[in-house]
Amino acid sequence: MGRLSVDLCGLPLDNPVIPASGTFGYGYEFAELYDINCLGTFSFKGTTAQPRFGNPTPRIAECTAGLINAVGLQNPGVDAVIAEELPKLKECFHKPVMANVSGFSVEEYAETCEKLDKEPQVGWLEVNVSCPNVHGGGMSFGTDPHAAAQVVKAVKAVTTKPVLIKLTPNVTDIVAVAKACEDAGADGVSLINTLLGMRIDLKTKRPVIANKMGGFSGPAVFPVALRMVYQVYEAVNIPIVGMGGVSSAEDVIEMMLAGAAAVEIGAVNLTDPFICRDIVNDLPAIMDKYHIDNLNDIIGGAHHG
């Protein structure tokens, strides 16, 4: 293993850099720009049991140091993903991929995960109980420790691959939700998903986004994400995938010091499609600058001194 290599729930990654779900499509779109096999892995677009058109437009609003989106889990449904998207992905990405799953009931989560669990290309199931852009699903599970635990138990009962639960920051105590997921059998947790935000158009005096509110992401949320990763690391004994405003190799190092075993990069992919490749390339020099021999040596390092 190289100095950038890490382990995520028993599966090796060449490096900890993972483009986040919803910002990297199904991979092949970015493969037209560079060889995406330089990445540790990536989390593909959030997938539900049935096709979803998503929310009405407009869905995006710009804001200082970030953006707000309310796409609403637009996707072709799990059967189409398996039949059409994964074969195209396999042509350009030759590592295990992370499947991001969302749902509107415990049964739907389990159904979708059970189907994706059978796919050899899928290495991890990232179960999203934290999407703020849909009604009656997603975040409604992630804000209640008991409800999140029920999703974990249902998914673990029908899968064999590592299950990571993607947590919402829109809670009073994210640690309680993380611990409930660990106790229910989760193999890891991913955090944070987007904060809930909005913009108002001064000309129309109405919300910019048709959904009124959406998920706020980008560099502005990094300190919040870092704090939550730090808190969860203190409380659980399962791996953490850190995310939220990460946009540089330095941010990756900082997130790992807080406790992340791997790091997802989200919103910045939408403004710089080469950012994940560049972060991978930048990591060795940043490690040398801060006298880091191996990334495994710094996971949770901020807690030890």
In order of 47, 73, 104, 276, the CA distances from 50 in angstroms are 8, 11, 10, 30
pLDDT score at 1? 67
Which active-site residues does the annotation give? 131
pLDDT score at 55? 85
DSSP state of 99: E
pLDDT score at 303? 97
Question: What does the longest C-alpha to C-alpha distance in the chain come to?
Answer: 56
DSSP state of 76: -
Rg (CA), the chain: 18
The token duo for 27 is 């991979």
In order of 136, 206, 210, the CA distances from 43 in angstroms are 23, 34, 27
**CATH class of the domain at 17-222+264-272:** alpha beta
Q: Are strands 60-63 and 163-166 parallel, antiparallel or unpaired?
A: unpaired
Side chain identity, residue 5: S
pLDDT tens for each residue of the chain, 305 residues long: 699 999 999 999 999 999 999 999 999 999 999 999 999 999 999 999 999 888 888 999 999 899 998 888 889 999 999 999 999 999 999 999 999 999 888 899 999 999 999 999 999 999 998 654 444 444 567 788 998 999 999 999 999 999 999 999 999 999 999 999 999 999 999 999 999 999 999 999 999 999 899 999 999 999 999 999 999 999 999 999 999 999 999 999 999 999 999 999 999 999 999 999 999 999 999 999 999 999 999 999 999 86
Place of tokens 């949320």: 221
Instruction: Describe the strand order of the beta sheet including 195-197 as a list of residue ranges.
Output: 60-63, 66-69, 214-217, 195-197
The token duo for 143 is 């804000």
106-117 helix and 145-156 helix, angle to the nearest 10 degrees: 30
Q: Are strands 188-191 and 163-166 parallel, antiparallel or unpaired?
A: parallel
SS3 assignment for 93-151? CCCCEEEEECCCCHHHHHHHHHHHHCCCCEEEEEEECCCCCCCCCCHHHHCCHHHHHHH
Q: Residue 226 in contact with residue 252, Cβ under 8 Å?
A: no
Q: What is the pTM of this model?
A: 0.95
Q: Residue 167 in contact with residue 192, Cβ under 8 Å?
A: yes
Residues forming a β-bridge with 125:
99, 163
Burial class (CB in 10 A: 0-12, 13-18, 19+), 25: middle
Q: Residue 110 in contact with residue 154, Cβ under 8 Å?
A: yes
DSSP state of 91: H
DSSP state of 85: I
Return d(Cα 151, Cα 192) in angstroms, integer.
18
In order of 13, 77, 137, the CA distances from 131 in angstroms are 26, 17, 8
